[in-house]
């Protein structure tokens, strides 16, 4: 990790997420906040490691309690003039949108870059195969899309410059295959100060108060700003045309899809012109129009939904009505892009031969992830199974290692959505049916968004049994600290928080004490109001 601070010039093999960190360091980042989520988790881990000890000077870092709080912390730092980086996975963006949208209106003061990592094919995600792209035109926030680690570093630096020039927050969007891709990256000088960071908030209600009628003026200012950025980006080399000898067919692509496109052109021995977009928003419309003007066909190589394709369709109406626009007709909308998908698509539209290798495989055993041997959650499972008939109880799950409760042989999960939702949805089911229900929630997840749901269940009087699995760390994403984790010194106790929420049936216990846990579960299942068990036992990997 310390080698990310290397002052030696030259090339170093970096992971996409490491390159993002190095880019921020080279840009002179002063404030970083995040909530862990894969495929963005390493960004927080790296800054956490770098800011502990003597290297911490000149840079502030925190793991915030959730992504919205991370965003707001970063906004406060930017308003105080600091160069700020905030990082999260795609679902984190959903959590912080309430703050992000008005932030784009007010604009940044200190340069602000937001990293959002998508996970096509849901390698490390439950919930949905979320695509961050539509936030761009909805929120009117510039979105950069690097293809590889070198671009991760370069685009983060460019993002800070753009943010500084236009006083606007900028998103750098990655995906799993970009964030977890490695290649040799050119290191450049870092602009790091060794002094303690100190910004200054200068009162400016015109900028920071989003009340009407001013807020509508702000919207107009933002629309003008985006137009100025669009004009500026028309000349940017981040949106570049790579010439080809074919004059009838062109390709427009970006992000990871660009790499597969290059691979496909080499594989099929083709020379087609390629427009490689570094920006998804705002799009260089004039450049795109000039590019597609003379073609008969254009292939849009993009992962997931056809957002770019629709934009090209719109622009083609202005310059080339007869243009055949191919994209999702040849490339699936679900699942991550793969090189062979582009091979086939390109072969189809150019008439080249590409034989898909025959897959004759009949054996393909799947090994699902499992709770570690010795994980304290096994004791929770055992006690619950002893205390109740699993057939007669509804089990609410959500995001954390305990989402593995849904896998055989445990089979203790009847719904699974986002963080905090096991309690929220459980409350609704209880109100709607009165059926017996146990909602599981992790310690980090409880602080992330479980508390408002618990208060709601008390306020609106339902009676789920909530089991808070306190393993003293944010385990699934790589053991990051949280407000009551083993190495934090907040003095906060989950039991006190739960009691303060108005819950009367509360018990803190060690799940290894099966007798006590079984008895408590049985007891609490019969209560008329909300009950909470806090099952305390650290994750095997927590170092005390």
Partner 1 sequence: MLRNSYMEKDLKQFNMMVTGIGGQGLLTVLEIVSQAAMDQGYDIKTSELHGLSQRGGSVEVYIRFGKKVFSPLIPQGKADLIIGLEEQEALKGMYFSGPQTNFLVNKSIVPIPLKKPLKEEEVIKELKKVSKKILIVPAKDICKEKLGTDVVAGVYLLSLAVFKGIIPLKTETVLKAIKKVVSKKHLELNIKTFELAKR
Q: How far is the CB of 100 from partner 1 (least distance, A)?
A: 24
368 binds partner 1 (CB under 8 A): yes
Q: What are phi and psi of 366, to 5 degrees?
A: -100, 130
Q: How far is the CB of 408 from partner 1 (least distance, A)?
A: 6
2 binds partner 1 (CB under 8 A): no
Region 232-261 residues binding partner 1, contact defined as CB under 8 A? 256, 259-260
Q: How far is the CB of 38 from partner 1 (least distance, A)?
A: 4
385 binds partner 1 (CB under 8 A): no
Closer residue to partner 1 (CB): 54 or 366:
366
Q: How far apart are CA 21 and CA 9, in angstroms?
A: 16
Q: How far apart are CA 278 and CA 404, in angstroms?
A: 38
**Which of 33, 181, 239, 421 is the binder for partner 1 (CB under 8 A)?**
181
**Any bridge partners for residue 171, and if so which?**
114, 143
Stretch that binds partner 1, among 206-214, 359-367, 428-436, 499-507 (CB under 8 A): 359-367
Q: How far apart are CA 471 and CA 536, in angstroms?
A: 6
CA distances from 82 to 59, 358, 489 (A): 10, 55, 27
Q: How far apart are CA 475 and CA 160, in angstroms?
A: 32
429 binds partner 1 (CB under 8 A): no
Helix (H) or strand (E) holding 172: strand 170-175
**Which of 194, 220, 359, 490 is the binder for partner 1 (CB under 8 A)?**
359
Inter-residue contact 48 to 61 (CB < 8 Å): yes
Q: How far is the CB of 360 from partner 1 (least distance, A)?
A: 5
Region 134-153 residues binding partner 1, contact defined as CB under 8 A? 148
Inter-residue contact 184 to 152 (CB < 8 Å): no
356 binds partner 1 (CB under 8 A): yes
Inter-residue contact 448 to 419 (CB < 8 Å): yes
What does the per-residue mask of binding to partner 1 show for 101-130, with x meaning CB under 8 A? ----------------------xx------
Stretch that binds partner 1, among 66-74, 370-378, 450-458, 498-506 (CB under 8 A): 370-378
**Which of 361, 391, 489, 515 is the binder for partner 1 (CB under 8 A)?**
361
Q: How far apart are CA 312 and CA 120, in angstroms?
A: 22
Q: Can you give 61-96 as a three-state secondary structure string? A: EEECCCHHHHHHHHHHHHHCCCCEEEEEEHHHHHHH
Closer residue to partner 1 (CB): 237 or 361:
361
Stretch that binds partner 1, among 243-251, 262-270, 326-334, 499-507 (CB under 8 A): 262-270
278 binds partner 1 (CB under 8 A): no
Tokens, residue 429: 């089911």
Closer residue to partner 1 (CB): 364 or 490:
364
Closer residue to partner 1 (CB): 123 or 161:
123
**Which of 197, 330, 349, 371 is the binder for partner 1 (CB under 8 A)?**
371
Stretch that binds partner 1, among 296-304, 310-318, 332-340, 519-527 (CB under 8 A): 332-340
Cα torsion through 217, 222, 227, 232, rounded to 10 = 130
What does the per-residue mask of binding to partner 1 show for 30-49, with x meaning CB under 8 A? --------xx-xx-------
Q: How far apart are CA 344 and CA 156, in angstroms?
A: 33
Q: How far is the CB of 369 from partner 1 (least distance, A)?
A: 4
**Which of 218, 451, 476, 497 is the binder for partner 1 (CB under 8 A)?**
476
Q: How far is the CB of 380 from partner 1 (least distance, A)?
A: 16
Q: How many residues bind partner 1 (CB under 8 A)?
A: 50
413 binds partner 1 (CB under 8 A): no
**Any bridge partners for residue 505, and if so which?**
531
Q: How far apart are CA 181 and CA 482, in angstroms?
A: 28
The answer, yes or no, to whether the previous bond of 282 is cis (omega within 30 of 0) is yes
3-class DSSP state of 425 = helix
Closer residue to partner 1 (CB): 353 or 528:
353
Region 487-516 residues binding partner 1, contact defined as CB under 8 A? none
Q: How far is the CB of 123 from partner 1 (least distance, A)?
A: 5
263 binds partner 1 (CB under 8 A): yes
**Which of 5, 6, 9, 13 is the binder for partner 1 (CB under 8 A)?**
13
Residue 183, Cα to own-chain centre: how many angstroms? 22
Closest CA to 312 of 294, 295, 300: 300
Stretch that binds partner 1, among 20-28, 224-232, 367-375, 431-439 (CB under 8 A): 367-375
401 binds partner 1 (CB under 8 A): yes
Q: How far apart are CA 421 and CA 423, in angstroms?
A: 5
Q: How far apart are CA 474 and CA 41, in angstroms?
A: 11
Tokens, residue 521: 């579960």
Q: How far apart are CA 280 and CA 110, in angstroms?
A: 23
Tokens 């880019």 correspond to 23
Q: How far is the CB of 452 from partner 1 (least distance, A)?
A: 26
Closer residue to partner 1 (CB): 187 or 532:
187
Tokens 């582009």 correspond to 342
Task: Output the DSSP codes for 45-56.
Answer: HHHHHHHSSGGG
Which residues fall within 8 angstroms of residue 167, CB to CB, at 6 or more apart? 107, 108, 109, 225
**Which of 53, 365, 374, 491 is the binder for partner 1 (CB under 8 A)?**
365
Residues at the interface with partner 1 (CB under 8 A): 11, 13, 38-39, 41-42, 123-124, 148, 176-177, 180-184, 256, 259-260, 262-263, 266-267, 338-340, 343, 356-357, 359-372, 401, 404, 408-409, 476-478
């Amino acid at each position: 990790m310390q080698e990310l601070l290397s002052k030696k010039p030259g090339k170093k093999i970096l992971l996409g997420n490491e390159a993002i960190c190095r880019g921020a360091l080279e840009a002179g980042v002063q404030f970083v906040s995040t909530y862990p989520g894969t495929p963005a988790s390493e960004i927080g881990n790296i800054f956490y490691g770098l800011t502990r000890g003597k290297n911490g000077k000149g840079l502030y870092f925190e793991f915030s309690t959730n992504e919205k709080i991370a965003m707001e912390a970063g906004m406060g730092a930017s308003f105080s003039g600091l160069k700020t980086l905030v990082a999260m996975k795609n679902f984190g963006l959903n959590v912080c949108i309430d703050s992000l949208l008005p932030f784009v209106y007010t604009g940044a003061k200190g340069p602000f870059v937001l990293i959002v990592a998508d996970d096509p094919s849901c390698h490390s995600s439950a919930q949905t195969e979320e695509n961050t792209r539509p936030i761009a035109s909805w929120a009117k926030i510039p979105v950069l899309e690097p293809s590889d680690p070198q671009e991760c570093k370069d685009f983060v630096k460019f993002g800070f410059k753009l943010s500084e020039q236009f006083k606007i927050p900028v998103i750098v969007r990655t995906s799993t295959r970009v964030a977890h891709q490695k290649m040799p990256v050119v290191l450049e000088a870092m602009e790091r100060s060794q002094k303690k960071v100190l910004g200054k908030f200068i009162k400016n209600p015109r900028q920071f108060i989003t009340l009407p009628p001013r807020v509508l003026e702000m919207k107009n200012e933002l629309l003008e700003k985006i137009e100025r950025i669009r004009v500026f980006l028309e000349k940017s080399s981040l949106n570049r045309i790579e010439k080809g000898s074919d004059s009838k067919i062109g390709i427009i692509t970006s992000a990871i899809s660009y790499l597969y496109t290059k691979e496909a052109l080499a594989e099929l021995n083709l020379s087609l012109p390629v427009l490689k977009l570094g920006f998804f928003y705002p799009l260089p419309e004039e450049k795109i129009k000039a590019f597609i003007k003379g073609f008969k066909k254009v292939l849009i190589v993009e992962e997931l939904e056809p957002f770019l394709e629709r934009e090209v369709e719109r622009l083609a109406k202005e310059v080339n009505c007869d243009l055949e626009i191919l994209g999702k007709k040849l490339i699936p909308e679900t699942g991550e892009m793969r090189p062979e998908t582009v091979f086939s698509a390109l072969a189809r539209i150019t008439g080249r031969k590409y034989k898909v290798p025959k897959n004759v495989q009949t054996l393909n055993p799947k090994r699902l992830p499992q709770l570690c041997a010795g994980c304290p959650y096994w004791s929770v499972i055992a006690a619950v199974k002893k205390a109740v008939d699993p057939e007669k109880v509804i089990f609410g799950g959500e995001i954390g290692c305990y989402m593995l409760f849904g896998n055989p042989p445990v089979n203790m999960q009847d719904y699974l959505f986002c963080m905090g939702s096991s309690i929220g949805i459980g409350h609704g089911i209880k109100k709607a049916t009165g059926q017996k229900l146990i909602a599981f929630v992790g310690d980090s997840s409880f602080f992330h968004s479980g508390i408002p749901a618990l208060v709601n269940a008390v306020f609106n009087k339902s009676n789920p049994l909530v089991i808070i699995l306190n393993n003293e760390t944010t385990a699934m994403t790589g053991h990051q600290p949280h407000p009551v984790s083993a190495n934090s010194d907040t003095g906060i106790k989950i039991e006190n928080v739960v009691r303060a929420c108005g819950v009367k049936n509360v018990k803190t216990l060690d799940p290894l004490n099966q007798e006590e846990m079984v008895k408590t579960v049985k007891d609490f299942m019969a209560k008329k109001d909300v009950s909470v068990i806090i099952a305390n036992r650290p994750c095997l990997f927590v170092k005390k």
